Amino acid sequence: MRGPVLISLLPAAVLFSVFFAVPLVVLVGTAFTDWSGTQMAFVGVDNFARLGADPVFAKVATNTVFYLAASVLVQVPLGVAVGIVLAMKVPGWRALRTVLFIPFVISGAAYALIFSMFYNPRFGLLNNLIAPLGLPQRDWLYETGTARWAIAGTFVFILGFVIVVTMAEITSIPAELYEAAEVDGATGWQQQTRITLPLLRNAIGTCVLIRLLADIGMFDLVFILTAGGPDDATATLALYAYRAYLHGEWGHANAVGLVILLLGGALIVTVRRVFRIGERDR
Question: Is 90 exceeded by the pLDDT of residue 4?
Answer: no
pLDDT tens digit string along 245-262? 999 999 999 999 999 999
d(CA 110, CA 59): 27
Q: Which residues contact 107 (CB under 8 A, 6 or more apart)?
A: none
pLDDT tens digit string along 34-74? 998 788 999 999 999 999 999 999 999 999 999 999 999 99
Q: Phi and psi at residue 235, in whole multiples of 5°?
A: -65, 150
Burial degree of 136 (CB within 10 A; 0-12, 13-18, 19+) = exposed
Bridge pairing between strands 33-35 and 40-42? antiparallel
According to the model, what pLDDT value does residue 109 have?
Answer: 86
d(CA 272, CA 266): 10
According to the model, what pLDDT value does residue 280 have?
Answer: 67
Bridge partner list, 42: 33
According to the model, what pLDDT value does residue 122 have?
Answer: 87
The full DSSP string for 207-256 is HHHHHHHHHTT--HHHHHHTTT-STTSS--HHHHHHHHHHTT-HHHHHHH
Q: Phi and psi at residue 231, in whole multiples of 5°?
A: 55, 40
Per-residue b or e along 36-69, where b marks 16 or more CB atoms closer than 10 Å to that residue's CB: eeeeeeebeeebbeebeeeeebebbbebbeebbe
CB 179 within 8 A of CB 95: no
pLDDT tens digit string along 210-253? 999 999 999 999 999 999 999 999 999 999 999 999 999 999 99
> Where does the pLDDT of residue 281 fall: very low under 50, low under 70, confident under 90, or very high at 90 and above?
low
CB 163 within 8 A of CB 82: yes
Q: Tabulate helix, strand, coil % of the chain (nearest 5).
A: 70, 0, 25
According to the model, what pLDDT value does residue 12 have?
Answer: 92
Per-residue b or e along 173-192, where b marks 16 or more CB atoms closer than 10 Å to that residue's CB: eeeeebeebeeeebeeeeeb
CB 164 within 8 A of CB 103: no
According to the model, what pLDDT value does residue 188 have?
Answer: 86
The full DSSP string for 171-211 is HTS-HHHHHHHHHTT--HHHHIIIIIHHHTHHHHHHHHHHH
For 42, the 3-state DSSP assignment is strand
For 33, the 3-state DSSP assignment is strand
